[in-house]
Amino acid sequence: MIQNLIHDLSLFSSEKISSTPMNSTTYRTNAHSSPHPSTFFPELGKCRTMRDLKQVHAKLIKTGQIHDPLAAAQVLRICALSEPPHRDLVYARLVFDQMPQPNCFSWNTIIRALSESNNEEDPLEALILFSQMIQNQFVEPNCFTFPSALKACARTGRLEEGKQLHCMIVKYGLDSDEFVLSNLVRMYVMCGVMNDAQGLFVSSVEVENSEKRREVGNVVLWNVMVDGYIRLGDFKAARQLFDKMPQRSVVSWNSMISGYAQKGQFKEAIDLFWEMQMGDVCPNYVTLVSVLPAISRLGALDLGKWVHLYAEKSKIDIDGVLGSALVDMYSKCGSFEKAIQVFASLPQRNVITWNAVISGLAMHGQAKDALNYFARMEQAGVTPSDVTYIGVLSACSHAGLVHEGRSIFNQMVRVSGLEPRIEHYGCMVDLLGRAGLLGEAEELILNMPIKPDDVILKALLGACKMHGNVEMGEHIAKRLMEMAPRDSGSYVALSNMYASLGRWQDVAELRLKMKEMDIRKDPGCSWIELDGVIHEFLVEDSSHPRAEEIHIMLEEMSNQLSLVGYRPNTTQVFLNIDDEDKENALHYHSEKITVAFGLISTAPQTPLRIVKNLRVCHDCHASLKLFSRIYNRRITVRDRKRFHHFENGSCSCMEYW
């Protein structure tokens, strides 16, 4: 949901505003029109709200001064283009329609206001007015009219009208005006005609180069192109253009960073954010909202804290959106105390903020607190969304709260009237399955109106393994293999189930099948952030510069484990190999390598925060509990499903994961 918001923000990000500003003071003054009207009507210049304006407007009508075209134009400008909430387009339209002979300035004002309006029908209305304007013999469109008309085409996806505008622009000789040109290119980009946009862009850059105007360049135009490639999903082309930019504005950086973050290229997003710090462009609100999800996903707490501090220092408004992103970041980076602190300090909380804190608590296994916040949310009069229910239900499933989960699921359907999605069914199947209610879980899947996906079947398969129900497990695994024959997950789960029962013959057959079909396991991968740098380790990894020291540390760690009498649980190893080899294979799971690296790289007692792409295996879980006591460290592991806080020999998940 936050990603959607970022997307919306990038559409209206600040620099795009500076090319088509909302704020009248930064708007290019209309050189073709008369002197600024407030010079003649100082009272209008003082209007701050619609109420002020209506009073002055009434006075102008009474005294007949409204017949002065300058006065009417100024009234129109204030109600059409003031910052929201002080603009009133309905009123503006009334004022405009009553002008006997609106001048060019007034036509431009109303067309611009309609083209920028959030009301869906207004951009089309802007185009209708534009066509009336060109038929009007007293006015002619100019370099201020076309950008607004182009924007209306872009927003309504009207390519044909856009092309007609392009012809007119050439006819009027305005095709070299930077402001017109960048809006023209943006129109092609938004209508999905990247080739035409590219053609215009290349020829304009050639003109720039030949005129030696490179030192300035049209940053807006470059940004439009970068944004266009990102929209198309062509990150290579976007990045190439970005790297070549003669000058970059904050919008250039924001487009690239939020593009990477939305595409799931979190490391690239963060690297670029670092690079931005080296330059002379400062991150703004949009930058922070864009980079925070990437930080959350990678669990880079130090960087996240830095962003929070930066926002406070730079007096960036921590509103509902940025606040929710911070709450989400702190809880996903393992610091849910801080998440709650930020949550409590926010002046306004919307449904996204509540969702962030509830799903954060769920991930940390704080089910009771999650339910508490859910109750508080309802008391505060905020209506839970379907995302809220995913958070609460997964909290119940992480804590085995079967009774609460059932009643919340019913509340969602009966009271809120929300249609459960596959994710909600997934939480319920997970909850029932873990609690050993395999029959009820299976029945839920059979009776739901949606087709089961692999996630939900895997949840049930995991439960079958947990409770040793081989019959149901085999049946579900077969279904999964039919659904997604290339997915290693079902093979691995079934094989682990056979292995835990010592059915090595079945394990071997399954492995053979995987080999024949060339299906490989997802590689396990863990990472840790030290001083803002992410160190990543794969299973049995020896590529790190400090690999040798890490290896020595791993040996010492396994000695320590034997000293406290730990015997590895070898059933987790996929292969039917000798016990000693199995034990070795276990030592090199990526989370253990990461812990070893963390232990040798940080001062004693420093907590270690690790993120893992898969679920933690039983052996690693048991070992990590012991490591937390042996080395006196708090170790936090975020696996694919949830958080584990290991401290003094035990884990916060209470073996529920």
Residue span binding Zn ion (CB under 5 A) among the ranges 254-262, 386-394, 458-466, 636-644: 636-644
Q: Which stretch binds Zn ion (CB under 5 A): 43-51, 204-212, 376-384, 616-624?
A: 616-624
Token pair for 353: 């903020």
Site string for Zn ion, 259-278 (x = CB under 5 A): --------------------
Residue 589 binds Zn ion, judged by CB under 5 A: yes
Shortest spacing between CB 579 and Zn ion, in angstroms: 16
Stretch that binds Zn ion, among 390-398, 507-515, 541-549, 645-653 (CB under 5 A): 645-653
CB of 393 to Zn ion, least distance (A): 20
Enumerate the β-bridge partners of residue 611.
Answer: 527, 638
Helices (H), 98-234: 104-116, 122-135, 145-156, 159-171, 178-190, 194-210, 219-232
Report how many residues bind Zn ion under the rule CB under 5 A.
6
Answer yes or no: are the C-beta atoms of 388 and 370 closer than 8 Å: no
Q: Exactly one of 47, 127, 435, 651 binds Zn ion (CB under 5 A); which one? A: 651
> Does residue 283 have a cis bond before it (omega within 30 degrees)?
no
What is the closest distance, in whole angstroms, from the C-beta atom of residue 149 to Zn ion in the complex?
60
Could you please report the per-residue DSSP string of 564-585?
Answer: TT----GGGSSS---HHHHHHH
Nearer CB in complex with Zn ion: 87/592: 592
Name which of 280, 319, 325 is nearest 304 in CA terms.
325
Looking at beta carbons only, is 218 or 496 nearer to Zn ion?
A: 496
Question: Is residue 653 within the footprint of Zn ion (CB under 5 A)?
Answer: yes
Q: How far is the CB of 646 from Zn ion (least distance, A)?
A: 7
528 burial (CB, 10 Å; 0-12 / 13-18 / 19+) is buried
Look up residue 222 and give its amino acid.
W
Q: How far is the CB of 561 from Zn ion (least distance, A)?
A: 13
The residues near 355 (Cβ < 8 Å, ≥ 6 apart) are 1, 324, 385, 387, 388, 391
Site for Zn ion in 551-580 (CB under 5 A): none
Sheet holding 525-530, edge to edge: 533-538, 525-530, 608-612, 635-638, 643-647, 650-651
Minimum CB distance to Zn ion, residue 396 (Å)? 17
Nearer to Zn ion among residue 74 and residue 526 (C-beta)? 526
Task: Among 151, 248, 612, 644, indicate the residue that binds Zn ion (CB under 5 A).
Answer: 644
Based on CB atoms, which residue is closest to Zn ion, 87 or 589?
589
Q: Which is nearer to Zn ion, 452 or 568 (CB)?
A: 568
398 near Zn ion, rule: CB under 5 A:
no
Q: Under the criterion CB under 5 A, does residue 617 sit at the interface with Zn ion?
A: yes
Q: Which segment (7-15, 95-103, 563-571, 582-590) binds Zn ion by CB under 5 A?
A: 582-590
Q: Are the CB atoms for 103 and 136 separated by under 8 Å?
A: no
Q: How much is the CA Rg of the chain, to the nearest whole Å?
A: 31
Nearest-approach distance from CB 454 to Zn ion, in angstroms: 23
Q: Which range binds Zn ion by CB under 5 A, 45-53, 211-219, 242-250, 587-595?
A: 587-595
Closer residue to Zn ion in complex, CB, 393/617:
617
Instruction: Name the residue with tokens 């030192």.
Output: 215
Query: Is 15 or 540 the residue whose CB approaches Zn ion more closely?
Result: 540
Alpha-carbon separation of residue 484 from 461, 474, 481, 502 (angstroms): 15, 15, 5, 26
Q: Is residue 625 within the footprint of Zn ion (CB under 5 A)?
A: no
- Residue 309 or 654: which CB sits closer to Zn ion? 654
Which of 620, 628, 633, 638 is the binder for Zn ion (CB under 5 A)?
620
Output the six-digit token pair for 35.
């002197």
Of residues 54 and 641, the one with the C-beta less far from Zn ion: 641
- Measured from the CB atom, is 262 or 590 closer to Zn ion? 590
Q: How many CB atoms lie within 10 A of CB 425?
A: 24
Residue type, 365: G
Q: Least distance from C-beta 656 to Zn ion, angstroms?
A: 8
Q: How far is the CB of 591 from Zn ion (least distance, A)?
A: 6
> Is there binding between residue 432 and Zn ion (CB under 5 A)?
no
- Helices H, strands E: what count in the chain? 34, 6
By the 8 A CB rule, do 633 and 600 touch?
A: no
Which amino acid does the sequence have at 173? G
Q: What is the DSSP string of 420-469?
A: P-HHHHHHHHHHHHHTT-HHHHHHHHHH-SS---HHHHHHHHHHHHHTT-
Nearest distance in Å: CB 509, Zn ion: 24
Contact set with Zn ion (CB under 5 A): 589, 617, 620, 644, 651, 653
